[in-house]
């Protein structure tokens, strides 16, 4: 039978106590490290704002004002790939007046509405006033009588919207299309009209 000396027994006891203390200290540290590594990173406030959906657009054409053309539109997203909107245009150089209001349905193949390429169908009503001729009467009277008409329209457009900036609020819209006039023709009336779209606005 072996007999431990008092000094040897003390060293063994201290060594075992230190080993147990290190083991207990290392266990919670390992648990915390494991929990931190499996936790999903949280988005910053800027990232959350940038990825938030934009469901509405308000756009105007600032360039048309130079030529007395006033155009604006509103668009609301219905799903990832579709939206509906309203558009109006007013143009009145001299004695000619053109006023139209339309409803538009857009389809976004990329399913990132309202950002990116879209195909649109439109339907509305166009009011036109055109002068026939001008006259000067012997009694000093004069005038330029014209004809006015209200005709329904159907249209087709290819458009593209860019949502810019960190928060994707600033919007540029551009596109081309064509419009068909229906109903009864009047003097100098047209059956079709090419259309163009260039607008700036905000998405929210």
Q: What is the pLDDT of residues 105-155, one digit of tens each?
A: 999 999 999 999 999 999 999 998 877 666 666 666 665 556 788 999 999
Looking at residue 188, what is its pLDDT?
62
Looking at residue 82, what is its pLDDT?
98
φ, ψ for residue 119, nearest 5 deg: -115, 130
Residues 200 and 198: their CA atoms lie apart, in Å, by 7
Looking at residue 129, what is its pLDDT?
83
Q: Which residues of 106-130 are buried (b: 16+ CB within 10 A; e: fewer)?
A: bebeeebbbbeebebebebebebeb
Element (H, E) at 13: helix 6-38
Residues in the chain, pLDDT under 50: 1-4, 9-10, 12, 27-38
Looking at residue 35, what is its pLDDT?
45
What tokens were used for 100? 């139209």
Q: Considering only CA atoms, which of 93, 180, 182 is closest in space to residue 131?
A: 93
Residues 19 and 93: their CA atoms lie apart, in Å, by 94
* Partners of residue 15 on adjacent β-strands: none
Does 165 sit behind a cis peptide bond, omega within 30 degrees of 0 on the bond before it? no
Looking at residue 157, what is its pLDDT?
98
Looking at residue 121, what is its pLDDT?
98
Residues 50 and 62: their CA atoms lie apart, in Å, by 26
């Amino acid at each position: 039978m072996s007999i431990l000396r008092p000094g040897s027994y003390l060293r063994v006891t201290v060594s075992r106590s230190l080993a147990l203390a290190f083991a207990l200290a290392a266990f919670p540290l390992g648990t915390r490290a494991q929990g931190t590594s499996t936790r999903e990173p949280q988005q910053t406030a800027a990232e959350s704002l940038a990825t938030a959906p934009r469901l509405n657009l308000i756009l105007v054409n600032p360039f048309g004002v130079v030529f007395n053309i006033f155009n604006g539109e509103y668009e609301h997203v219905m799903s990832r790939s579709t939206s509906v909107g309203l558009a109006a245009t007013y143009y009145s150089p001299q004695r000619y007046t053109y006023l139209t209001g339309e409803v538009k349905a857009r389809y976004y193949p990329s399913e990132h509405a309202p950002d990116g390429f879209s195909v649109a169908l439109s339907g509305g009503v166009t009011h036109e006033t055109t002068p026939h001729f001008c006259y000067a009467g012997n009694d000093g009277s004069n005038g330029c009588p014209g004809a006015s008409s209200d005709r329904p329209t159907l249209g087709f457009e290819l458009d593209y919207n860019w949502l810019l900036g960190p928060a994707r609020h600033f919007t540029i819209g551009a596109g081309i299309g064509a419009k068909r006039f229906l109903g009864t023709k009047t003097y100098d009336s047209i059956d079709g009209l090419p259309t163009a779209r260039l607008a700036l606005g905000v998405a929210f």
